[in-house]
Amino acid sequence: MTQPRAVICPSCGGSIEIRAAGYTVTLGCRYCGSVLDVAHEDVRLIKAYRRAVKNFAIAPGARGTLFDVEWEVIGALRRRSAESGDWQEFLLFNPYSGYRWLVLAGAEWQFGTMLLDRPENGPRSVSWRGGDYLRGDSETATTVTVLGEFYWKIARGDEARATAYTRGAEVLSCESTADETNWTQLIPLDDSAVSAAFAVERKFVGAPQRRARRNDTDDLPMMFLFALIALLAVGLVQELVSRPRVCTESTSEIIVGAPSFTTRIGTLEVRRAYQFVTISAVSSNINNRWIDLDYSLVNRQTQQSIDAYGLIEYYTGTDSDGPWTEGSTGAETLIASVPRGTYDIYLDGGAHGWPNDPSVTVKQVKPDEWTVQTSADAENPWAPPEKVTVWFTACTGGFSWGMFWLIGFLLFAVPGAMLWWRHREDD
Amino acid sequence: MTLRLKLFTAWCLFLVATSGVASYYGWSLFADSASTSSSSGGARGPTHK
């Protein structure tokens, strides 16, 4: 019998007792989940990661009596294979009887004893203590989660080739790695016997974990596919349902630096109870300038105005990283919930220069007539003012990209969260 | 088809239908309508570096 030894977790400072001192090489901190190498005097931190005890049917530290021996669960593993999904393995320890395994696969419990005498190999079976065990399928078992302490070095991601040999309900499990081959005899255990011996988490009592996990694996790709199809449907529905699309176009020249001016872009008729109105503005000769675009949709019948704004800004320059550009030469303005009616679309626009406005002089020659002169050009103070040309297209209907991406987020959030949760459990 | 997949399919259909209704009534959370403010009046420029 060995004396328990206490070590201090270098990750969280928690004091942890090693129950199988002298045998235990790897120890998982019960406070922070760090994996510690306790074979060294200074207790090295191998890898720290989060781990939830609640994901195991039995928490390390639990004690229970099976086959008239009191066992303590000192380690727990979650392992996975492509063929069988997930299962849990618990390392039991008794100072007089040594180590045993408790395995939860699906809703079935098995009690495992390591074999000291190797079975004799046959072509399709093995023979052990007078019994023949038929060879089943082989699979690669990957360790997903490690919790507690073990008598060998183990880490997440460790792989072993596992082959099951069956004789009735009894199984001989052969696990091979590059370094060694281990045989374990597994006999079935009644669910109630395990529940009576240990405090089994309620959600694992009688729950077909393996099957549930397989379903997780199966329907998650389908959920992503459904989300993608739904997102495409959302785009199509938005495009089709927001019709009919009727447009009007116009062009305006805006003097850079001059006070804003008002002009009429055109007239639109909204034929449905409510509809989007989209106004696109594109300028071809804008550089280091911005154009404020204030739109007003004035209902001819009621004279009520619906206001919206747009902005075109486009800048270029060169710095230590080379040439750069910023902004766009176009802007699309989406006006929502425009009621049925005929609307005159007015623009109150102004163009400005960066870093400074060109200096212009505005003179009123008649009550309704103004002249604009540029005085920035010292050699030619009478040079014509700089103008930017803007093409406007106003249409009924529209596509709300914001709504499209919001719904896309809501669609993919569900399978995305499930995928994240699954990997979080793995960590 | 699992119950979870059925529920998710219902969620997808709900969002598609919501999108259709919103488009039909020209409603969007991300419209550029300006009831209180105007874009003009402020100085602008590149935010590059």
Report yes or no on whether pTM surpasses 0.90: no
Q: Indicate the range of A194-203, A394-403, B6-15 predicted with least confidence.
A: A194-203
Q: CA-CA distances (angstroms) from residue A266 to A21, A306, B26? A: 87, 15, 21
| Cα A291 from Cα A256, distance rounded (Å) | 9
Q: Measured between CB atoms, does A261 come within 8 Å of chain B?
A: no
Mean of pLDDT values over A114-128 = 86
Average pLDDT, chain B: 81
Cα–Cα nearest to A279, from A235, A211, A335: A335
pLDDT tens digits, A201-260: 766 665 444 433 444 446 888 999 999 999 999 999 999 998 889 999 999 988 888 888
Q: Mean pLDDT across the stretch A197-203? A: 78
CA pair distance A234, A226, nearest whole angstrom: 12
User: Rounded to an integer, what distance in angstroms lies between the CA atom of residue A386 and that of residue A164?
Assistant: 84
Q: Report how far residue A147's alpha carbon sits from residue A64's, in angstroms, rounded to the nearest whole number.
A: 18
Q: pLDDT tens across A177-189, in order?
A: 888 888 999 999 9
Q: Which of A319, A335, A356 to mutate to test the interface with B (most CBs of B within 10 A)?
A: A335
pLDDT at residue A239 in the model: 92
pLDDT tens digits along B22-42: 999 999 998 887 544 455 556
Longest C-alpha distance within chain B, in Å? 58
CA distance A32 to A9: 9
Highest mean pLDDT among A25-39, A51-65, A239-253: A239-253
Name the residue facing A307 among B15, B18, B33 (closest C-beta): B33
Q: What share of chain B is helix, strand, coil (3-state, %, to 5)?
A: 45, 0, 55
Q: How far is B3 from chain A (nearest CA, A)?
A: 10
Residue A144, classed as helix, strand or coil, is strand
Q: Which CATH class is domain A247-398?
A: mainly beta
- Is it the case that residue B16 has pLDDT exceeding 60? yes
Residue of A270, A400, A404, A419 to mutate, interface with B, max B Cβ within 10 Å: A400
Angle, CA of A228, A230 and A235, to the nearest 5°: 95
Are the CB atoms for A16 and A45 separated by under 8 Å?
no
Q: How confident is the model at residue A371 (pLDDT cuts 50, 70, 90)?
A: low
Check CB contact of A257 with chain B, cutoff 8 Å.
no
Tokens of A298: 């004035």
The reply to whether residue A326 touches residue B46, judged by beta carbons under 8 angstroms, is yes
Mean pLDDT to the nearest integer, A111-117: 91
- Judge whether B24 is closer than 8 Å to chain A, CB to CB: yes
3-state secondary structure A72-121: EEEEEEEEEECCCEEEEEEEEEECCCEEEEEEEECCEEEEEEECCCCCEE
Domain limits, chain A: 5-205, 220-241+407-426, 247-398
